[in-house]
Amino acid sequence: MINNGKSSSLTALVSGATGYVGSHLARRLSANGWKVHVIARNGSNLTMLHQARDSITVHRHDGSTESMFAIMEQAAPDVVFHLASFAPIPHTPAHIVPMLHSNIVFGTQLVEAMIATGVHRFINTGTFSQHYDNVFYSPASLYDATKQAFKDILTFYTETTALQAITLELHDIYGPGDSRPAIIPILQKAASEQKPVAMTLGEQLVDMVYIDDIADAYELAAVRLFTRQEVKDEVYSVSSQNPIRLKDLVEVFENVTGCRLTVQWGAQSYLSREIIVPWTKGKNLPGWRAKVSLEEGIKKATAAAPEY
């Protein structure tokens, strides 16, 4: 059972565990006593699993449904944490097949294999950008539409099988060791190289959530699936409830790090569907709130040298 996030007997299967958020979650679950299995591709780089590599079981998925069924039988998880995703924004025609495979086919193979092997607890990952213009559904990009499409497929399984699912819609995530092209690593690079950084006009609001708070949300969602049989198909927004203008975020970054940046505001144009106001109408996961303030989070995120 789970007690204060700690578990000595439960098994987790994590997809996307070679990525930033997934690797952090896999390491956290392993540190909290879960038996952690992860799904990687044949070419996946396992570096992000760092020191937990020895206590985590890695299953290689060859893209087929048969391979997914075999992984599910071997892992026999109590909960599946689904974070695998491919997010080219904006996309090109060449991205169509790999994006639909990563964001729709892969997840469907995962859930189908769960049902076939009697595994019923599923935590899915959505995104704030499925809500362009702060409306219930309006995809800011094709990537967001594929996330919504998989969520709709999930509803088929929760309505017709014993599957229990919680979808966590994440906002902008930041933290240490982040090599993704995200806001904080970009500012860190500009600061350490003392080079000007081209940005949009910076009027958009961003909802920044520290990686440890994100891992808390996944653990809490797992507790909810274990303790509430009535959960069938819930969706929660993992928001700081405190969006900040990008321009002001840069100022906070400068104050916290003591680094002066040369920002070329407006040198980059907004995306065609740039999110100016992030999703603010989503329900927060009961019992969860962001505990790490932006100042504290930026201090922690910039303490360790970024990995480029």
Ligand X SMILES: NC(=O)c1ccc[n+]([C@@H]2O[C@H](COP(=O)([O-])OP(=O)(O)OC[C@H]3O[C@@H](n4cnc5c(N)ncnc54)[C@H](OP(=O)(O)O)[C@@H]3O)[C@@H](O)[C@H]2O)c1
- SS3 state at 256: helix
Exactly one of 78, 144, 172, 216 binds ligand X (CB under 6 A); which one?
172
Residue nearest to ligand X (CB): 19
Part of the chain binding ligand X (CB under 6 A), chosen from 11-19, 64-72, 282-290, 297-305: 11-19
**For residue 190, how far is the Cα from the chain centroid?**
25
Interaction pattern, residues 113-152, with ligand X; x per rule: CB under 6 A: ------------x-x-------------------------
- Rg of the chain, C-alpha, whole Å: 19
Stretch that binds ligand X, among 29-37, 80-88, 219-227, 266-274 (CB under 6 A): 80-88
In the complex, the smallest distance separating the C-beta of residue 181 from ligand X, rounded to whole angstroms, is 10
Scanning residues 84 to 113, which ones bind ligand X (CB under 6 A)? 84-87, 101-102, 106
Backbone angles phi and psi of 42, in degrees to 5: -60, -35
Cα 14 to chain centroid, rounded: 12
Beta bridge partners of 123: 81, 166
| Count of residues that bind ligand X according to CB under 6 A | 26
C-alpha distances in Å from residue 166, one per residue of 12, 43, 193: 15, 29, 42
d(CA 221, CA 56): 21
DSSP H or E segment with residue 6: strand 6-7
Minimum distance from CB of 293 to ligand X (Å)?
A: 18
Residue 237 binds ligand X (CB under 6 A): no
**Contact status: 240 vs ligand X (CB under 6 A):** no
Reduced to 3 states (helix: H, G, I; strand: E, B; else coil), residue 147 is: helix
8 A C-beta contact, residue 172 and residue 129: no
Beta carbons of 182 and 172 less than 8 angstroms apart: yes
DSSP code, position 144:
H
Place of tokens 């896999």: 26
CB of 194 to ligand X, least distance (A): 26
Query: What stretches of 159-268 adopt beta strand conformation (E)?
Result: 164-170, 172-174, 197-199, 205-206, 208-210, 233-238, 244-245, 263-265
> Which is nearer to ligand X, 20 or 122 (by Cβ)?
20
CB of 297 to ligand X, least distance (A): 14
| Closer CB to ligand X, 85 or 204, in the complex | 85
Return the number of the residue (19 or 139) whose C-beta is nearest ligand X: 19
Rule CB under 6 A: is residue 44 a binding residue for ligand X?
Answer: yes
Identity of the residue, 16 or 185, whose beta carbon is nearer to ligand X in the bound complex: 16
Residue 301 touches ligand X, criterion: CB under 6 A: no
Q: Any contact of residue 180 with ligand X (CB under 6 A)? A: yes
Binding site for ligand X (CB under 6 A): 15-16, 18-22, 40-41, 44-45, 61, 83-87, 101-102, 106, 125, 127, 170, 172-173, 180
